[in-house]
């Protein structure tokens, strides 16, 4: 009956989030646990898309939460917890990428394709259309194109579509003006279109991925 404190996709509503942050500020571990649970998969997905490495992702996510809680006393209630968390997470991702390139490391493509096959298992029965082989190829092509985007563009696209953040909010996360975010989004879309031209995506442009589409 009292399910109104979470929205349909398990996200906390603003009031509940405020209450949990205040309780966590007072040392309430139960509230801290709920804050973590409500955000862990979202942050994990974002960081994994940025880094494409499971081990680094886990480390960065843990560090992001520890930093967020370490500074929770000064939390500004004008922001969402997620905005703050993703800001920290994004900065840690950039540091991690820098460290990786300093060490001459590169993305393990074999590991990526293995992970992708393994994790591409259908998660939702309502995506019947998207479970066909062609749809899987389409998804692979699209995620491949997303992987090819420069980090700020990739982050913009992920935060815009997955997190449904406004350009203003994305600007807060990426530490850039909303106008710059807009141009990142524009260039990202152009690049996606360009990279997907001639691929399977062209024949499957009308695939619908959810029941509410159309």
Partner 1 sequence: MALTCRNVQHLHDAYLDSDLSASMIAEVDAHLLQCPECQRQIDMVRVCGNVISRDQSEPRAADDFAARVLSALPRQRAAAPAPVVLLTRRQSRRVVLERVAAGFIPAMAAMIGLSLLVFPAATDHSTSPDRQVGRVLGESATRTAVSPTLALGVQDIVSPTLSSIDNASRAVGDLQDFAGLTLRDAREQLAASANPPAAPAEDAFSGAFLMQMLHPLLGVVSPVPTEPAPAQTDDVVRF
Q: What is the 8-class DSSP label of residue 179?
A: H
Distance from C-alpha of 2 to C-alpha of 182, rounded to nearest angstrom: 38
Which range in 85-93, 95-103, 172-180, 203-211 contacts partner 1 by CB under 8 A? Answer: 203-211
Stretch that binds partner 1, among 93-101, 106-114, 117-125, 168-176 (CB under 8 A): 117-125
Q: Yes or no: say if 81 and 88 are a contact pair by the CB < 8 Å rule.
A: no
**Residue 34 Cβ vs partner 1, minimum distance, rounded to whole Å:** 9
Distance CA 48, CA 56 (A): 8
Nearer to partner 1, 12 or 158 (CB): 158
**Residue list 74-93, contact with partner 1 (CB under 8 A):** none
- Please pick, from the candidates 5, 6, 28, 94, the single residue that binds partner 1 as defined by CB under 8 A: 28
Helix axes 178-196, 151-161, angle to 10 degrees: 100
Whole-number Å distance between alpha carbons of 26 and 88:
22
Q: Which of residues 142-171 bind partner 1 (CB under 8 A)?
A: 142-143, 145-146, 157-158, 161-162, 164
In whole angstroms, how close is the CB of 102 to partner 1 at the nearest point? 26
Q: Which of 7, 101, 168, 210 binds partner 1 (CB under 8 A)?
A: 210
199-to-87, 187, 202 alpha-carbon distances in Å? 34, 19, 6
State the nearest-atom distance from the C-beta of 32 to partner 1, in Å. Answer: 6
- Cβ closest to partner 1, residue 91 vs residue 116: 116
Helices marked H in 131-176: 133-147, 151-161, 167-174
Q: CA of 88: how far to CAs of 29, 62, 123, 189, in Å?
A: 21, 11, 29, 25
Q: Which is nearer to partner 1, 20 or 104 (CB)?
A: 20
Contact between 115 and 198 under an 8 Å Cβ cutoff? The reply is no
| Chain contacts with partner 1 (rule: CB under 8 A) | 23-33, 36-37, 40-41, 43-45, 48-49, 54, 57-58, 61-62, 65-66, 69-70, 72-73, 115-116, 119-121, 123, 127, 130, 138-139, 142-143, 145-146, 157-158, 161-162, 164, 182, 185-186, 189, 192-193, 196-197, 201-202, 204-210, 213
């Amino acid at each position: 009956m009292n399910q109104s404190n979470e929205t349909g996709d398990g996200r906390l509503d603003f009031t509940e989030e405020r209450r949990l942050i205040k309780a966590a500020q007072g040392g309430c571990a139960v509230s801290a646990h709920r804050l973590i649970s409500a955000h862990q998969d979202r942050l994990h997905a974002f960081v994994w898309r940025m880094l494409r490495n499971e081990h680094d992702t886990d480390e960065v996510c843990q560090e992001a939460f520890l930093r967020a809680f370490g500074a929770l006393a000064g939390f500004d209630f004008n922001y969402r917890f997620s905005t703050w968390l993703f800001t920290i997470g994004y900065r840690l991702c950039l540091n991690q990428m820098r460290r990786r390139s300093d060490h001459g490391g590169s993305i393990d493509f074999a590991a990526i394709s293995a992970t992708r096959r393994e994790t591409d298992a259908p998660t939702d029965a309502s995506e019947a259309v998207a479970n066909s082989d062609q749809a899987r190829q389409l998804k692979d092509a699209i995620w491949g194109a997303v992987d090819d985007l420069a980090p700020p563009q990739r982050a913009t696209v992920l935060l815009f579509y997955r997190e449904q953040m406004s350009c203003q909010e994305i600007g807060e996360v990426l530490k850039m003006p909303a106008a710059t975010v807009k141009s990142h989004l524009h260039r990202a879309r152009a690049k996606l279109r360009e990279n997907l031209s001639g691929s399977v995506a062209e024949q499957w442009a009308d695939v619908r991925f959810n029941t509410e589409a159309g």
